[in-house]
Amino acid sequence: MGDPTRLSLLTTLSDGRERSIAGLSVGTVLTRQAVTKHLHVLEQAGLVRSSKVGRESHYAFQPDRIGEMRAYLDSVSRQWDDALERLRAFVER
């Protein structure tokens, strides 16, 4: 998700509509192959799903994974908050 292209693809797909690779390539400087590569990474991460419609692959956003990622990041954030609090208490002794 840290890649601006992948974030842009997720933003486009976040409206809930499925789109083809060709449709996702329109209006960008990216080739269809580049879009496909980014979509495969997002699919492996569970953020999009693909389906075949005729000869085309269509992609759709999978929002459930975002909640899982947020929960993980919240957990890491709490761990850092706890560690920083322990460090503050130690320094102030």
pLDDT in tens, 63-89: 988 888 899 999 999 999 999 999 999
Give the model's pLDDT for residue 5: 92
Q: Report yes or no: 39 and 59 within 8 Å, Cβ to Cβ.
A: yes
Distance CA 8, CA 16 (A): 14
Distances (CA, A) of 22 to 15, 60, 91: 17, 14, 57
Answer yes or no: is pLDDT of 57 > 80. Answer: yes
Q: Is the pTM of this model over 0.85?
A: no
Give the model's pLDDT for residue 1: 64
Written as six digits, the tokens of 79 are 């761990």
Answer yes or no: is pLDDT of 43 > 80. Answer: yes
Answer yes or no: is pLDDT of 34 > 90. Answer: yes
Strand, helix or coil for residue 25: helix
Give the model's pLDDT for residue 69: 85
